[in-house]
Amino acid sequence: MVAADVQCAHLDGIRDVTPSADGCEDCLRIGGEWVHLRTCMNCGHVGCCDNSPNRHATAHNRETGDPIIRSAEPGEEWGYCYPDDLYMERLPVPG
């Protein structure tokens, strides 16, 4: 859990995105498997989590610099900012 006084410096980059695929788009392309899904809150890229063999969500961050992901799992609203190394229980709604 994040302390109340800790702020992410990248929240203004959150957009109202459309997920790019119904699964990890990179795993679907190569025939890979995933454990959990994450959505990039800048462009909508859907990638697999770091517990998945290919870690495509983190790879997407490294390739693009897009800072924030959100869980794409049903019922989960948490997000994570890569550059700030910051977990957020609930991301703000894009404005």
Per-residue pLDDT tens digits for 20-66: 999 999 999 999 999 999 999 999 999 999 999 999 999 999 999 99
For 5, 31, 50, 54, 55, the CA distances from 79, given in Å and listed in that order, are: 17, 27, 14, 20, 16
Q: What is the pLDDT of residues 71-87, one digit of tens each?
A: 999 999 999 999 999 99
Name 87's bridge partners: 80
Whole-prediction pTM value? Answer: 0.90
CATH among 3.30.70.520, 3.90.79.10, 3.40.50.300, 3.30.40.10 for 11-88: 3.30.40.10
Can you read off the two tokens belonging to residue 23?
Answer: 């699964």
CB atoms within 10 A of CB 51: 9
Sequence spans of domains, the chain: 11-88
Query: Looking at residues 10-26, what average pLDDT do you find?
Result: 94
pLDDT at 7: 82
